[in-house]
Structure 1
Amino acid sequence: MPESELPEDVVEEATRLTRLARDAVDPDEREAYLSARDELVDEHDFLSRVREEDDVLVLHPAEWVDDEGTVVPKQIDDVDRGVEQPLSGTGEEHEWSAIEEHNARLVATVAEKHGEDHAANARAFADFLGNHYVRRIETAGAPEVREFIEEYYPRNAWTTTEQRSILSESLKLLFDAADAEVPEYN
């Protein structure tokens, strides 16, 4: 199967921006994320939309669309040029081991720079996100962070009082290691 001409890092960033927009509370913030995503894919002459019925980000060549914004089937020369990226759960293209390796590198960065208590919290979040959602740290949205803090962490992370007291800071350090912001989960 031929690969899309859209670079993988562009697909990942467009997916991340779409998730951030979906989780944004402020309409202006939401619009800023969507605008950044659209500008990013436009640089490659692609368009983006979310297919709501199955929660998938669809990225496809702009040439497939007419002036009214409708996809014209006869313009589609090769469907493999388009990209479909699940926004929730896991997709076939995700491989748990690659995501675990990525997230483990971020946890190691936190351990090296900030110590074992922060690393234990980071590891708990990485385990939660990898095992339950098969997702990279930086793709987590507010719902996943809330679920981790409210449900997973109290029941499944064997933590010390110190670790519990620094959880929000640990999450910030982990997202910083991923060069991303913690979603607004409160």
Structure 2
Amino acid sequence: MTRTNDEPPEWAKERAREVMAAETDDDGATGGGATDDRAAEGGDADRVPDVPAETVDEAERLTRLARRTEDESAAAFYRERRDELVDEHGYVPRLRDEDDTLVLYPDEWMDDGTVQLDRIETTDRAVEVSLSGPGDADRYREVAAYNDAVADAVADAHDAVHADTARSFAAFMSNHYVRAVDDATPEVREEFREEYFPRNGWPSDEQLAVLDESLDVIESVAADVDGPEES
């Protein structure tokens, strides 16, 4: 998965130089009193950036899901989940269209949705994730191929009622989570069972009656299907 970029945007680097110059003028030496005070308090020592890597990864995943789905209500749901997730760590997500990048800004930098340059104390606290990395499409194809192979294996070994559900579950896991069918958490299964399948799977009464059995069949069959590799 794409990680944060090493190089901050040019505008941010320029602003950082201005802030450093101002501190030099005020204190008579580079990195003067304000920086020393923060170091003494221990407040900013670990804030580069102060959002966990797993939160960045999940924000990226939710952003990609929102972009991939054709259902606007689902896209809005993914974006809301992402926003709430990063807000728990005091960050605000933004999409930078010119280079297709997800940016997480500390919320104290923001005012009415816009970054205030005079509030940036160090550009290292921002997080940038490219959304156009070449590995994303490859990973999707790999996972989708595996899930389709599991659905085909279910069709070969079991009744059509299980095969039809397996195809719906494969599409759900590939398109909504980019995860293998046998990597579904209980919460993901519940979402499929209660929300996705009734609305998008067009299930028959027979499918609904044996849905839990079908999910168990899918997991059992998947154990004998190779792939995909861990990302």
Matched residue of 1:44: which SS? coil
**TM-score where L is the length of structure 1:** 0.54
Alignment equivalent of 2:183, drawn from 172, 177, 186: 177
Alignment of structure 1 residues 1-186 onto 2, 5 Å: 3-66=48-111, 68-89=112-133, 133-135=134-136, 144-145=140-141, 165-166=152-153, 172=173, 174-177=180-183, 179=185
Q: How far did residue 148 of structure 1 move? A: 7.9
The percent identity for this pair of structures is 38
Q: Give the C-alpha shift of residue 177 in structure 1.
A: 1.8
Report the 3-state secondary structure (helix = DSSP H, G, I; strand = E; otherwise coil) of the residue aligned with 2:114: coil
Q: Distance in 1 between matches of 2:107 and 2:130?
A: 20
Aligned structure 1 segments of 4 or more residues deviating by more than 3 angstroms:
133-137, 166-173, 178-182
For 1:27, give the aligned amino acid: E
TM-score, length basis structure 2: 0.44
- Which runs of 5 or more structure 1 residues have no equivalent in the other structure? 90-132
RMSD: 3.6
SS in 1 for 2:105: strand
Larger radius of gyration: 2
Q: Measure the CA separation in 1 of the matches of 2:75 and 2:53.
A: 23
Residues 59 and 86, structure 2, Cα contact 8 Å, conserved in 1? yes
